Each structure stands twice: as C-alpha cells, then as structure tokens.
C-alpha cells in the first residue's frame, strides 16, 4: 500500500462521516447561499473541527467563492480541500540537525506514546540514523518494559534505571551514552501526568536544563502524543501541555479508529502547533509523516473519487 493510500485508508471513518455528509448536503442546494455555509459550518463542528476553525473555514470559503465568481455548489468541495490544505500546512518536518539531536515525547497514559517512540525510532533507523532510547517515564508501571520491547523491535539501544528513579538522571545518562557512541538521535520517553501541572512543569524544566547543559545548542523536538479518538479533549490536552512544556509538535494516533480526524484542523488553527506524524494503523510503518495536501485530499474526497 502506497503512502497516500495508507493515509486515505486510515481516514476512512472520518471521510465517511464528513465527506459523505457534506456531499449530500451540497447536492441539496442549487445555488451557493448563506444557508449552505451555515449547514457546512454545522457539519464541520460535528466532525470535531471546532467552532473557531469551522467559522474561519467558512469565512475563507465565502471570500473565495465571491472572488472567483463560483456559483455551482458542487465546486465547494474542491475549494474546501484547498482552504483546509492552506490552513493546516506549515513546518511539519522533524528538525534533527545536530549530532546528537533530542526528541522528548510526552503524553498521558493510553494515547500510544511508547508505541509512537518505537515507530519513530524504527523510521529514523531506516533513514540511516543511529538512535538511542531513554526510558525516562519512570513512574508508570510497565512503561520501561514496554519501551524495552519496542527498542528490541526497532533494533536500537535503550538506557533505563529502576522504576521510580529520577527521570532527569535517565535523560542525563542517555545523553552521555549518545555522546560517547556518536549517536544521531536521542528519543526520551517522559511522563505525561496532567493531574498536577506544577509537578509536570518542574519535571520537564529539569529535563530541559539537563539537555541544555549536556548538549548546548542541540536540535530539540518536544512532541505531544494525542489520541484522535478523544476529539476535542485532545485539543484541550494540547492546550494544557503547550503551556507547560514548550511543545514543537503533535503526534496524533488512532486516526484509523475514529470519525474525529477533523481534530487535526482544530489543533493547527486553535493552538498553532504543527502535526508532525499521524498514526493510521497498528503496523510499524503506519505512523506517517504529516502532509497537509495528502491529509486534506484524503479527508475531503468526494465519494465518486474514492
């Protein structure tokens, strides 16, 4: 299965929900008027795009329809795809320009954080980069063992301490090992507890200081893993973590299991955070780099194009 086909298949539930409803709605109109835009906005909100984002999409569409003199409702879907592509496009690449570079991965329990780390490690290794994992989520039962399984699958080394150890100490040792072995990328699993924001902020600040001291000027990505099936709750989580953690990007998992893929638009628009990867299945290569044009094309494809 090709790159686009994976994304298209992974977004099937969302596409079936959004595109089919929008297409049916457009077929009910013989002209483009305010009623059409109001119905479209409502459908977008129902697809977890978020109120602010849905309003902006429709405002942009109104302006574009007027500017281009579009009168046929059937042309709205192509314009919608165009507007959404522009809206979610941005700097979606990982920036790993130093040796070593660091990726900190954050996320609450159950979002697929450990799996995501394993898949990113596997992807980077296939690209010819050397990778080392740091098991710095030391408080969650079985987190270290789960990461060990993924390290083995990806064929990369792992640095770990005992459960309950100081996460910053694990990060320090991982960085030291990476420098000694001339490793390209350090990926650190970190705790993602939201029940006490101050503790979370303190822990992440301590880890950041360790990295800045051990690897001054290194490339650093701070990725938050979110479960797409939680819809707008994922946006709220991202808002909390953005405040606490200095995020550089989002990894959105479980898109294949939900009709709430529209949440990508809300994260990009409401929070200004780029989506770096999307998870569209269980296999190692089902974590795909995010591509705005492919995503919009897969999401807003008319049924006859499928």
Please state the residue numbers annotated as binding site for GTP.
Answer: 107-114, 189-193, 253-256
As annotated, the binding site includes 107-114, 189-193, 253-256
* Beta-carbon count within 10 A of 145 CB: 12
CA distance 9 to 4: 9
CA distance 48 to 20: 15
């Amino acid at each position: 299965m090709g790159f686009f086909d994976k994304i298209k298949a992974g977004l099937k539930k969302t596409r079936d929900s959004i595109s089919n409803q929008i297409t049916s709605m457009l077929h009910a109109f013989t002209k483009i008027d305010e009623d059409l835009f109001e119905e479209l906005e409502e459908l977008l909100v129902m697809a977890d795009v978020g109120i602010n984002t849905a309003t902006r999409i429709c405002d942009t569409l109104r302006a574009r329809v007027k500017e281009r003199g579009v009168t046929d409702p059937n042309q709205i879907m192509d314009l919608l795809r165009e507007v959404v592509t522009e809206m979610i496009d941005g700097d979606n690449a990982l920036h790993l320009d130093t040796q070593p570079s660091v990726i900190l991965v954050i996320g609450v329990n159950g979002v697929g954080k450990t799996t995501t780390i394993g898949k990113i490690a596997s992807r980077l290794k296939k690209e010819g980069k050397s990778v080392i994992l740091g098991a710095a989520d030391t408080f969650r039962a079985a987190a270290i063992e789960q990461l060990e399984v993924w390290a083995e699958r990806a064929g990369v080394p792992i640095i770990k301490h005992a459960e309950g150890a100081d996460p910053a100490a694990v990060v320090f040792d991982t960085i030291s090992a990476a420098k000694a072995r001339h490793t390209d990328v350090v990926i650190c699993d970190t705790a993602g507890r939201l029940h006490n924001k101050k503790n979370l902020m303190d822990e992440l600040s301590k880890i950041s200081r360790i990295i800045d001291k051990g690897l001054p000027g290194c490339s650093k990505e701070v990725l938050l893993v979110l479960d797409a099936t939680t819809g707008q709750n994922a946006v709220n989580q991202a808002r909390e973590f953005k405040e606490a953690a200095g995020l550089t990007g989002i990894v959105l998992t479980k898109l294949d299991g939900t009709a709430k893929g529209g949440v990508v638009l809300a994260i990009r628009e409401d929070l200004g955070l780029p989506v770096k990867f999307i998870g569209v299945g269980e296999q190692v290569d089902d974590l795909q780099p995010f591509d705005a044009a492919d995503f919009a094309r897969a999401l807003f494809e008319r049924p006859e194009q499928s």
